[in-house]
Amino acid sequence: GHASSSSTPTLVRNRISNNEGANLAVLDEACPIITDNFITDAPARGLVIISKASGTFEHNVVCNSDLANVYVGGDASPKLEGNVIYNGAASGLVIEDNAKGEFNQNLISGHEQPAVAVQGHAAPTMQRNIVMHGGCGGVWLDEHAGGEFLHNFVEPAEGAWRIGAEVESRLSGDNLSAQECVWERGAGVV
């Protein structure tokens, strides 16, 4: 399915699976509300947000895609909050081109490539996300990536944060990797 042409559809509590290209594509300045959906088993990408699209994506499960579970590109600027993005053959979340957006309190886990890849001139704001089990690292920031990364927990595989030499992003606000947590009586104390 797809949303486009400045539309504002609402999609709530659906199972979306096995669609060619993308299980769900949001295009052309669309601004949907996508909540409580199960987006799974994509032969390509699970959720694609491109072409100046925005919208709110909350409490969805996006999993088992052959390419990125969530792809944000072009000049898209969505808000993703409280989603579970897991078990992908590539990266969990790819943000590239000139994309921006807010990515808050998401769980991104179990991917064969970096769990999060920020590429091109993308400049997202990522806050309070949990990033785990990325096959080639937790978060990859490409050479020209920008954005703000605040209060995220990143568990490394081959390295929590992999940062290109010319990165324009700001890592601040106590971003943590697994080695920095203090474990006390079986509970993580940050």
pLDDT tens, position by position, 113-156: 999 999 999 999 999 999 988 778 788 888 889 899 999 998 85
* List of residues 6+ apart from 176 with CB closer than 8 A: 152, 153, 154, 190
pLDDT number for residue 188: 32
Q: How confident is the model at residue 68 (pLDDT cuts 50, 70, 90)?
A: very high
The percent of residues in the chain predicted with pLDDT above 70, rounded, is 78
CB count within 10 Å of CB 59 equals 14
Long-range contacts of 36-44, Cβ-Cβ distance < 8 Å, separation of 24 or more: 36/12, 36/60, 37/11, 37/12, 37/13, 37/61, 38/14, 39/63, 40/15, 40/16, 40/64, 41/17, 41/65, 42/17, 42/18, 42/66, 42/67, 42/69, 43/18, 43/19, 44/20
> In terms of Cα–Cα distance, which of 73, 117, 75, 74 is closest to 92?
117
- Give the three-class secondary structure for 173: coil
Q: Spell 160-190 as b/e; 16+ CB within 10 A means b.
A: bbbbeeebebebeeebebeeeeeeeeeeeee
Residues paired with residue 56 on neighbouring β-strands, in sequence order: 33, 79
CA 101/CA 178 separation, integer angstroms: 26
pLDDT digits (tens, 9 = 90+) for 72-83: 999 999 999 999
Q: What is the pLDDT of residue 133?
A: 80
What is the chain's alpha carbon radius of gyration, rounded to the nearest angstrom? 16
**Taking the model in full, what pTM does it have?**
0.86
